[in-house]
Amino acid sequence: MFLIIETGSQVEIMLVSSLKKKLAGAEGDFLLHTDVEIARGGITAIAGPSGSGKTTFLRMLSGLTTPDEGLLEVDGEVWFRKEPGKKTVVNLKPQQRKVGVVFQGYALFPHMSVLGNMLYASRDMVLAEKLLNMTGLQQLKHVKPGNLSGGQKQRVALSRALMQQPRLLLLDEPLSALDEAMKSVLQDELINVNRELGVTILIVTHDSSEMYKLCDRVLLFDTGRIITDTSPRELFVERATTQKFAFKGEILEILAVDAVSIAVVAIGNNLVEVVIDSDEKETLQAGDIVIVGTKAFNPTVRKIAAKDFDFSRL
């Protein structure tokens, strides 16, 4: 099906039409079959269970994996095209595609400085300086990756990907190895990069707060298909129950205190105690993964003084 060949739209940057790839899954082979249009300038989350085809989708976009058939067009330029049963017409090499890729592993050259790693992608010194300033790496530009923290390394990987002035920036769980505070700082930087450079971003993530904070759209993959295409707000807020305040956590312990039970739950870096009803106690035990929630009427909101809170940049 190649019904849409002209993509004169001003807002659309990427068109994926019947892009297919047979994949081997844990429960047998399945077909990755994607049809999607991505608007220019947005940040789109790619979510779904592992083995659902998210990473292969990004690899097909970047040219690291060759699809079996279909059409991929970015900014009016065909990157891949093969009709069923016919020869491949177009298949640009990764370096011919204006695409930046950042994976969870940093994949930096250990013997090169931060600046060296960036200039390897492009010799554009002006852009390198701009990116060093944007990502707070200016002071570290002569340092080698071995001496950098995880967050700093990921900033270098991001800056290097941006050195190629990509039309698309593909991020595969780029922040999942970082702690919550570092993650939050890098999320802000990604938003900044998206706004200032206007680069269109696709990001694989499992983190619902990350999707909510960063993304204007979520594509939910399941066994090779995009089963849901919606906004994070629709996905997490409006489709949930009437509980407004909900966090995923793990029960560490259930304590009996007086006539009540108290569940100690780990949510992110925090431990919270929740008084639970006795019928809930019967169905819950340590190790259970749970949602801790309450209605919008119950949480209190208090402004924090600077002295209460010091999440200085790490």
Partner 1 sequence: MNRIRATVTGIDRRESLHRVMLTGGDHEFTLITLELGEEYGIGALVEIHFKSAHVSLAKNISGQVSIANRLEATIVSLREGELLAEIVLESSAGRFFALLTAEAVNRMQLVAGDRVTALLKASDLYLSKAGEL
Residue 259 sits in the site that holds partner 1 (CB under 8 A):
yes
Q: Scanning the structure block, which residue is given the tokens 């619902």? A: 208
Residue 310 sits in the site that holds partner 1 (CB under 8 A):
no
Residue 237 sits in the site that holds partner 1 (CB under 8 A):
yes
Residue 267 phi, psi (nearest 5): -120, 110
Give the amino acid at 224: G
Cα within 13 Å of Cα(314), Cβ side: 17
Residue 88: CB atoms within 10 Å: 13
Of the listed pieces 56-64, 66-74, 118-126, 273-281, which binds partner 1 according to CB under 8 A?
273-281
Residue 255 sits in the site that holds partner 1 (CB under 8 A):
no
Q: Cα separation of 285 and 263, whole Å?
A: 9
Give every strand in the sheet of 225-230, ordered side by side: 99-102, 168-172, 200-204, 43-47, 217-222, 225-230
Among the listed residues 50, 241, 269, 300, the single contact to partner 1 using CB under 8 A: 241
| Closest by Cα among 42, 4, 21, 3 to 221 | 21
Distance of closest approach, residue 236 Cβ to partner 1, in angstroms: 12
Q: From the CA atom positions of the chain, what is the Rg in Å?
A: 22
Distance of closest approach, residue 289 Cβ to partner 1, in angstroms: 15
Among the listed residues 258, 299, 301, 303, the single contact to partner 1 using CB under 8 A: 258
Residue 29 sits in the site that holds partner 1 (CB under 8 A):
no
Our CB check for partner 1 shows the closer of 279 and 310 to be: 279
Our CB check for partner 1 shows the closer of 6 and 238 to be: 238
Residue 118: CB atoms within 10 Å: 28
Among the listed residues 35, 37, 179, 280, the single contact to partner 1 using CB under 8 A: 280
Our CB check for partner 1 shows the closer of 146 and 299 to be: 299
Distance of closest approach, residue 256 Cβ to partner 1, in angstroms: 10
- Three-state DSSP class for 221? strand
Distance of closest approach, residue 243 Cβ to partner 1, in angstroms: 6
Binding positions for partner 1, rule: CB under 8 A: 237-239, 241-244, 258-260, 275, 277-280, 295-297
